[in-house]
Amino acid sequence: MEFRILANTSAAAPAASGPEGSRRDFMFLATGAGLAVGAAAAAWPLVSSMAPDAETIAAGAPIEVDLTPIQDGQIVNVFWRGKLIFVRKLTDKELTDMKAVPLSAMIDPAAFTTRVKNGHDQWLVVYGNCTHLGCVPIGHQGNFEGWACPCHGSQFDAVGRVRHGPAPINLPIPPYAFQTDTKIRIGEGGKEAA
């Protein structure tokens, strides 16, 4: 039997310095970057699935209405967010008559100035459904030069104020703003008013 003495291997090998250390650091950084890119790539479909689709965005997007072709007394129907909107150009007679109506003669009192935009008195923009049960009132009908609901008999004046029930409130005003004197944008530019 032969015994050999082996060298003491308990001492640690000297630390790699130089190219080995920089290679290891590079591998850690590359691995971390790869994991970050992979996590972002995996999360992207999840995040994008939470965003509304194009049809939903379009359904609530503001719309622009060109007022140029609308004649005095004419009512134009447009749709925003699936709801009917009346855009009406008031005649000089309607302007004079509507400004003179006393608040005591109304079911839901509202001054003329609260129904139109300052400086654009001849333009009325209102939702086109009766505030009683949602029927569509007919323009230039009834006793008040405005709209009359064929279903239950409600009547509104030329600026959408309810003058004869059963409708309890005026035709609501959607949010809108004048972009120019001949163009409005429905869906932005102010709070909704009643």
Backbone angles phi, psi at 170, to 5 degrees: -65, 165
* Residue 156: strand pairing partners: 147, 162
SS (H, E, C) the chain: CCCCCCCCCCCCCCCCCCHHHHHHHHHHHHHHHHHHHHHHHHHHHHHHHCCCCHHHHHHHCCEEEECCCCCCCCEEEEEECCEEEEEEECCHHHHHHHHHCCHHHCCCCCCHHHCCCCCCCCEEEEECCCCCCCCCCEEEECCCCEEECCCCCCEECCCCCEEECCCCCCCCECCEEEEECCEEEECCCCCCEC
Look up 152 and say whether it is catalytic: yes
| Contact criterion met (CB below 8 Å) for 87 and 78 | yes
Catalytic residue, chosen from 132, 140, 152, 164, is 152
The catalytic site residues sit at 152
